Amino acid sequence: MPLFGRDVVLIDAVRSPFGRARPDGLYAHTRADDIAVAVVRDLLRRNEDLPPGRIGDVALAATSQVGDLGLTLGRSVGVLAGLPRSVPGFAIDRMCAGAMTAVTTLASGIAVGAIDAAVAGGVEHMGHHPLGASAEPNPRFIAERLVSGDALVMGATAENLHDRYPRLTKERADSFGVASQARYAAALAAGQITPDLVPIGIFDPEQGWGLATADEPPRPGTTIEGMAGLPTPFRAGGRVTAATSSPLTDGATAALLVAGDVADELGLKPKMRLVSYAFAGVEPEVMGVGPVPATKRALELADLSIEDVSLFEINEAFAVQVLAFLDAFGIADDDPRVNAYGGAIAVGHPLAASGVRLMLQLARQFAEQPEVRYGLTTMCVGLGQGGSVIWENPHHVDHAKENHR
């Protein structure tokens, strides 16, 4: 039985290729909202059995809601993507968990019967809008010692995790960074990445128009030896380097959510069923531990234990943050159930877009592994938060039995 009312299923999810956020990056001369429009259009094209008029809402997330990331993204991108004018939309900001929050917010609307279907996703252009560049943090944060100064610098919070938990060594983080690159390269070669990518038209003032078809950030062949001597930009003599951090990234994602009964009515084939979700707050200075309480709460709501979860998609904002999660739940660093296709250290982390990337990768693994019943998508969130969503595999035999009683 669904936990929140009606069943909510993920029918499909797609993303743009991810680009490096720099002056010569993939999307340096492309508008952020145009990337999102292309992704939403392709999501709709891939799922023509759902009449666009059945979509009840569109939620798109962005951390920097200014410039080409402004103007109520869900509505403006929906109109530009060709959705009927009757379909409303809105924007969301929960920093890194923006797209995840878009999914859970719209799923809640579906669960209570307010809407039948929705598009949720996120977009970030860190090349045009670096994190925090236009923000004006309230001086009370520091003046009244509500948080320490480094709580507002994500890389500094990663260093704090190394300090607080001596088991989280630089050596472990370096090894995890190498593994992320290797897993992504293997998944790409096996055809597990490209099918979910939407080609994006891009413009370069010198070369003209082109097409983005592959991720730009990965560094295949990364080795421990090659990482030696890299600077530690967040602290002199620190432990966090570019090789154990997600690169600054541009890109967009989108997912199609539908009520279970509507999926049955229209003959749509779900890729995942939402079981439970939770968000939690932690000390901003160690925001990387946020996924731990969020996951514990999501498991509690689902009446599951961590042993029931067979696949994990954990956002790799920093390697040390993933390691903190693994230690909390007694999972080995090299457990093959964790980030089987690699993670953000390799592919990039366009902040508000990343939650749906985790979901689409989990969905593909569900299809490949029908023996798996439950999977988890989880991520840490700036200013001391965590978000987790538990999903059920519709290909699993027990799921099929329970839904045909």
Query: Quick one: how far is CA 385 from the chain centroid?
Result: 14
**Residue 398, token pair as written in the block:** 């027990």
Query: Taken in order 287, 291, 292, 296, is the CA torsion positive or negative?
Result: positive
Task: Spell out the residues 6+ positions from residue 371 whose beta carbon is closer than 8 angstroms to its own.
Answer: 396
Closest CA to 354 of 314, 312, 298: 314
Which of 210, 230, 211 has the alpha carbon at shortest distance from 219?
230
The upper half-sphere exposure of residue 302, i.e. CA atoms within 13 Å in the direction of its Cβ, equals: 26
Separation of alpha carbons 382 and 373, rounded Å: 30
Rounded Cα–Cα distance for residues 347 and 337 (Å): 18
Closest by CA to 249, choosing from 193, 317, 192, is 317
Catalytic residue among 96, 128, 129, 162: 96
Which residue in 296, 181, 156, 293 sits closest to 235, CA to CA?
156
Q: Is 96 a catalytic residue?
A: yes
Q: Are 331 and 323 in contact (CB under 8 A)?
A: no
Residue ranges of alpha helices (H) inside 9-128 are: 32-46, 73-80, 98-111
Catalytic residue among 128, 129, 162, 349: 349
**Catalytic one among 125, 128, 380, 395?**
380
Give catalytic status of residue 162 as yes or no.
no
- Residue 26, token pair as written in the block: 């993939």
Q: What distance lies between CA 204 and its chain's CA centroid?
A: 28
Query: Would you call 125 a catalytic residue per the annotation?
Result: no
Instruction: Give catalytic residues, as residue numbers.
Output: 96, 349, 380
